[in-house]
């Protein structure tokens, strides 16, 4: 039982993990690889190729961001231009730790995230945001992401029309430290900038300047996010780390579990959040998992779900559809209990008298967990002892490390995204960019197909 002042730990509950078509013994073909995996992990961290784990950039980031924070917070609005990993982490943190922006009568700072080619919304921001009170943050590791650059060109024009030469004081660039168009733009024009460290892909970058700049703007405890993440990864590269360390690490256990699930035909992984303000972490995880592992016909499809909302939509499929789904269920016993029901409820609902509104969420989460288990769904509960920034950092690090290890167990590279590039090349060809002769020919052939259409 929790006592006054005690700390509730973050835990993974494996009680329902080996359910349905999987048993713990099925994992042995992957467990025996832990020696090679441990050696590889330490080697990759030491070589700087997994910087999201040991954060060699942390000291420089903290120094730079502390200096920039008063300037960032002098603005009323931040317009963040970025897509994919340049936006999903920031949105998850905003929804989790700055929910007041979505509530009535909000009068504080506001973060607006432009993560799509949405002309109507971009026009609305340019029409309604006061340029003199707005900081535009442009995020692209490569410095050449066409969606983000297009937004930047229009935002630059919008600021310049209102502020003249002072527009440069309303822009921050987060990009590669040495190369790419945005790095050149920042250096030539003297724009404020922070680097995206080498070997840090977008989906692994939330705990760098990519996510910490908007976190600092919204006055989150961003240092606690970093501390939490480092605490999870540190044992893996500490002096003396080795096979035994990896064997007992929760990220390794998650990786082995998921690899075993895939071998047994579980092709979908539900991320079911029963922490309402953390619902967007499911969408952040979706990109992390899908873009890292969906290669060579391998991987499993992540499905973000929100408790209790999706109990009234997709849960029918989860419980009574194809038996191809496993589940990560996110919960916390420390959520606000909310208002208490009075004694005047109708007799039919008398059992709610004296209960709190938050009790309903806990009961619904337990009900879903048990229903999934009874349906034969392998399920691991990620129970967060608290829902502060440090806990969020721990969760993000755990899932990031587990994703890398799962990719290695699949014998694929979890750090690249080769298939995504084809769509980008074809889009550039359609827009008339040079150097895409093969893609242009393919595009012409695709558009020359005889249409088979039907009105409705």
Arithmetic mean of pLDDT, 216-224: 98
pLDDT of 21: 97
Q: Are residues 380 and 275 in the same domain?
A: yes
Q: Are residues 81 and 214 in the same domain?
A: yes
Q: Are residues 249 and 295 in the same domain?
A: yes
pLDDT digits (tens, 9 = 90+) for 116-174: 999 999 999 999 999 999 999 999 999 999 999 999 999 999 999 999 999 999 999 99
The residue written with tokens 């979908």 in the block is 268
pLDDT of 6: 65
Q: Is the dihedral of CA 185, 187, 190, 193 positive or negative?
A: positive
213, part of any domain = yes
pLDDT digits (tens, 9 = 90+) for 393-449: 999 999 999 999 999 999 999 999 888 777 778 888 888 888 888 888 888 889 889
pLDDT of 11 over the 70 cut: yes
Arithmetic mean of pLDDT, 8-26: 96
pLDDT digits (tens, 9 = 90+) for 61-88: 999 999 999 999 999 999 999 999 999 9
Average pLDDT, the chain: 95
pLDDT of 429: 83
The residue written with tokens 């590889």 in the block is 40
Which runs of E-coded beta strand occur in 332-450?
379-383
The domain boundary, picked from 191, 218, 245, lies at 218
439, part of any domain = no
pLDDT of 445: 87
64, part of any domain = no
75: number of Cβ within 10 Å: 18
The domain boundary, picked from 392, 409, 426, lies at 409
Q: Are residues 119 and 156 in the same domain?
A: yes
Describe the strand order of the beta sheet including 379-383 as a list of residue ranges.
11-13, 379-383, 325-331, 268-273, 301-306
pLDDT of 3: 40
Q: Are residues 197 and 236 in the same domain?
A: no
- According to DSSP, the β-strands at 134-140 and 77-81 are parallel
Q: Are residues 103 and 16 in the same domain?
A: no
Q: Are residues 335 and 375 in the same domain?
A: yes
Q: Among residues 38, 452, 441, 379, which one has the least CA distance to residue 238?
A: 38
pLDDT of 434: 87
Say how many domains are in the chain: 2
255, part of any domain = yes
Q: Which range, of 4-8, 98-102, 379-383, averages the lowest pLDDT?
A: 4-8
pLDDT digits (tens, 9 = 90+) for 287-316: 999 999 999 999 999 999 999 999 999 999
By annotation, the residues acting in catalysis are 291, 312, 424
For 289, counting Cβ atoms within 10 Å of its Cβ (0-12 exposed, 13-18 middle, 19+ buried), the class is: buried
Q: Are residues 157 and 300 in the same domain?
A: no
For 456, counting Cβ atoms within 10 Å of its Cβ (0-12 exposed, 13-18 middle, 19+ buried), the class is: exposed
Q: Are residues 99 and 248 in the same domain?
A: no
- Using only C-alpha atoms, the chain has a radius of gyration, in whole angstroms, of 24
pLDDT of 4: 45
Q: Which range, of 239-253, 371-385, 393-407, 441-455, averages the lowest pLDDT?
A: 441-455
pLDDT of 2: 41
Q: Are residues 383 and 268 in the same domain?
A: yes
454, part of any domain = no
pLDDT of 360 over the 90 cut: yes
Give the three-state DSSP class for 28.
helix
Q: For residue 390, give the CATH number of its domain.
A: 3.40.50.10490
pTM score > 0.85 for this model? Answer: yes
223, part of any domain = no
pLDDT digits (tens, 9 = 90+) for 381-400: 999 999 999 999 999 999 99
Q: Are residues 279 and 143 in the same domain?
A: no
Inter-residue contact 311 to 364 (CB < 8 Å) = yes
CA triple 102-106-111, angle to 5 deg: 60
Max CA-CA distance within the chain?
A: 74
| Domain membership of residue 294 as a residue range | 11-41+231-409
Q: Are residues 195 and 244 in the same domain?
A: no
Percent of the chain with pLDDT over 90: 90
453, part of any domain = no
298, part of any domain = yes
pLDDT of 1 over the 70 cut: no
């Amino acid at each position: 039982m929790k006592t006054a002042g005690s700390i509730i730990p973050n835990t993974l509950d494996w009680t329902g993990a080996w359910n349905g078509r999987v048993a713990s013994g099925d994992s042995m073909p992957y467990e025996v690889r832990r020696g090679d995996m441990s050696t590889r992990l330490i080697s990759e961290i030491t070589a700087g190729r997994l910087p999201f784990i040991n954060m060699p950039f942390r000291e420089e980031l903290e120094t730079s961001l502390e200096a920039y924070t008063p300037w960032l917070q002098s603005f009323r609005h931040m317009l963040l231009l970025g897509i994919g990993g340049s936006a999903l982490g920031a949105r998850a943190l905003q929804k989790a730790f700055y929910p007041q922006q979505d509530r009535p009568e909000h009068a504080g700072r506001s973060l607006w995230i432009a993560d799509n080619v949405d002309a109507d919304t971009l026009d609305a921001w340019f029409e309604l945001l006061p340029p003199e009170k707005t900081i535009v943050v442009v995020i692209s590791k490569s410095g050449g992401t066409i969606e983000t650059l297009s937004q930047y060109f229009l935002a630059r024009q919008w600021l310049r029309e209102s502020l003249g030469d002072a527009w440069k004081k309303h822009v921050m660039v987060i990009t590669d430290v040495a190369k790419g168009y945005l790095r050149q733009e920042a250096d030539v024009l003297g724009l404020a900038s922070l680097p995206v460290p080498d070997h840090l892909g977008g989906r692994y970058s939330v705990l760098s300047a990519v996510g910490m700049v908007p976190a600092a703007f919204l006055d989150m405890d961003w240092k606690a996010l970093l501390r939490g993440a480092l605490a999870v990864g540190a044992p893996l590269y500490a002096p003396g780390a080795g096979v035994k360390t990896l064997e007992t690490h929760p990220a390794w256990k998650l990786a082995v579990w998921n690899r075993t699930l895939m071998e047994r035909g579980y092709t979908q992984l539900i991320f079911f959040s029963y922490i309402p303000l953390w619902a967007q972490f499911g969408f952040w995880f979706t990109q992390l998992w899908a873009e890292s592992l969906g290669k060579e016909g391998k991987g499993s499809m992540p499905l973000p779900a929100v408790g209790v909302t999706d109990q009234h939509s997709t849960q029918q499929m989860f419980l009574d559809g194809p038996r191809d789904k496993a589940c990560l269920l996110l919960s916390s016993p420390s959520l606000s209990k909310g208002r208490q029901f009075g004694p005047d409820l109708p007799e039919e609902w008398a059992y709610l008298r004296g209960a709190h509104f938050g009790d309903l969420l806990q009961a619904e989460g337990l009900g879903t967990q048990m229903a999934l288990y009874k349906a034969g769904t392998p399920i691991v509960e990620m129970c967060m002892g608290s829902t502060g920034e440090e806990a969020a950092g721990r969760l993000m690090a755990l899932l990031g490390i587990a994703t890398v290890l799962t990719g290695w167990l699949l014998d694929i590279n979890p750090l690249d995204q080769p298939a995504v590039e084809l769509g980008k090349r074809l889009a550039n060809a359609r827009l008339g960019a040079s150097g895409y002769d093969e893609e242009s020919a393919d595009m012409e052939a695709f558009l020359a197909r005889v249409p088979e259409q039907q009105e409705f």
